[in-house]
Amino acid sequence: MLFYTTDDPLRVDSVAYIPFFLNVEPADRIVIIGGGAVALAKTQALRSAGAALHVVAEKLLPELHWTIQRLGGTVDVSLYEARFLYGAKLVIAATSDKALNARIRADARGLGIPVNVVDTPELCDFIFPAVVERGDIQIAISTSGINPTLARLLKRRIEQLLPWNFAALAAWLKTKRTAARQQILSLQSRRLFWEDVLESAIPQEILEGNLARGEALFAEALKQQPEGKRAALYLIGAGPGHPDLITVKATQLLGQADVILYDRLVPHGLLSRYARKDAQAIAVGKEPGRHHKTQAEIDALLERQLRAGKIVVRLKGGDPGIYAHSAEEIAVAARLGVPYQIVPGITAALGCAATAGIPLTERDGASGVRFLTLYDEQLHDDAFWKSLGLSRKETLVFYMSGSRHRAVCERLLQAGFHADTLMLAIEQGTTPQHEEYEATIGTFADRYEGFSFITPALLIVGDVVRWRARHQWKEAPSERKAYFAEDAHGGI
């Protein structure tokens, strides 16, 4: 028997559903009140529960009566009374009488029994998902009762992804658990071994019925399994803010991590979606005027975890090679002789420009692009600004400089940029709170005088900004607020 399940709890108005599976024994009673098509559908949905089904109704469809008999259940052809609920593990109100359904719910609640009122999610203690079944493997999908058709669509797509005999693979893997546990003592090594097996040719051999070949490949994999823990460092770019702008490789490596050190600008939901539930997530993000950890503290933390034999993911917003201190963190792994990988991500300039409909380079518009950021020494470095004066045919992207837009405008004008050159500020780019603010170098500072851009924000300067008017496709949010909340990753 199963309840609704998904990545995160969902709400219907003020009702929250927590996903979990419920164990039901053969002696447990599930009482269904109703004798029509809805009661029949719920009875058929419960056919694999292995519980004692009991139907109560004044009249029953012949098919419902036959189904209950076939499943070894019982029937009371009677008016509903609360006594029928005594000793039940679950109750389902499936009548067409709303008042009666409400009465059943009240009676079940009074007896401390979870109740489902069909097609009335606000009265339900639990709801039924669409289910994909492959033997012991069950995948449950729900829209919290809002749109069952959508749940069925998702079910159909998942059905297409899983081979019809997928249960055979699960059953075969079950026979190998003891051998793997006896030979591979480290929990981390055992987990990585199973990941390697499931990503190898072995599953396909088993699914095709080539059991001898699968057995031989498994024995060889077990023989080749290295001893001890396998420390590694993965520097992963999480993308500019939109949760889907992350690479496939990044999601794969996130699933291997024992420890994840993540920045403030990591998109919402990435950890709960891709990381293991038992992985340790540590916030090390930085924002103007406030750091969870200094870079030296982050480096020391990396070293401790790597020395302990952990697989560590350093998860960074955007790309790990753009203003992200990656070289310092790689040096820690190199000093310890620990393998590492750099997994690129979509950096803010690319993501924000694409969402704004701007090509960063364009024939007759910009021959190149520069990624820049302003530290105090650069702001007052005349040679730096003089060099930008030679870049008037290029697109300039200033990271982490939204608060200094007046200084940027003044110094660019001094460097020889024309006052009519277009300038665009983008705050919280690619996220649902993506906002754009356009002007020229000559008018930008006065137009947005005293305005505080929500971080992260960047500035794009150059003729390519003109494409925004033709290519803009992202609507502005209805409410201006911070997207990267402090507790966005409060747990995995």
What residues act catalytically? 263, 286
Largest CA distance in the chain: 92
Task: Please check whether residue 416 is in contact with residue 389, taking contact to mean a CB–CB distance below 8 angstroms.
Answer: yes
Task: Please check whether residue 367 is in contact with residue 393, taking contact to mean a CB–CB distance below 8 angstroms.
Answer: yes
Phi, then psi, of 292 in degrees rounded to 5: -65, -45
| Helix (H), strand (E), coil (C) string for the chain | CECCCCCCCEEECCEEECCCECCCCCCCEEEEECCCHHHHHHHHHCCCCCCEEEEEECCCCHHHHHHHHHCCCEEEECCCCHHHHCCEEEEEECCCCHHHHHHHHHHHHHCCCCEEECCCHHHCCCCCCEEEEECCEEEEECCCCCCHHHHHHHHHHHHHHCCCCHHHHHHHHHCCHHHHHHHCCCHHHHHHHHHHHHCCCHHHHHHCCCHHHHHHHHHHHHHHCCCCCCCEEEEEECECCCCCCCCHHHHHHHCCCCEEEECCCCCCCHHHHHCCCCCEEEECCEECCEECCCHHHHHHHHHHHHHCCCEEEEEECECCCCCCCHHHHHHHHHHHCCCEEEECCCCHHHHHHHHHCCCCCECCCECCEEEEECCHHHHCCHHHHHHHHHHCCCEEEEECCHHHHHHHHHHHHHCCCCCCCEEEEEECCCCCCCEEEEEEHHHHHHHCCCCCCCCCEEEEECHHHHHHHHHCCCCCCCCCCCCCCCCCCCCC
Phi, then psi, of 216 in degrees rounded to 5: -65, -45
The angle formed by the CA atoms of residues 141, 147 and 148, to the nearest 5 degrees, is: 50
> Cis omega before residue 456 (within 30°)?
yes
Question: Measured between alpha carbons, how far is 314 from 335 in angstroms, rounded to an integer?
Answer: 17
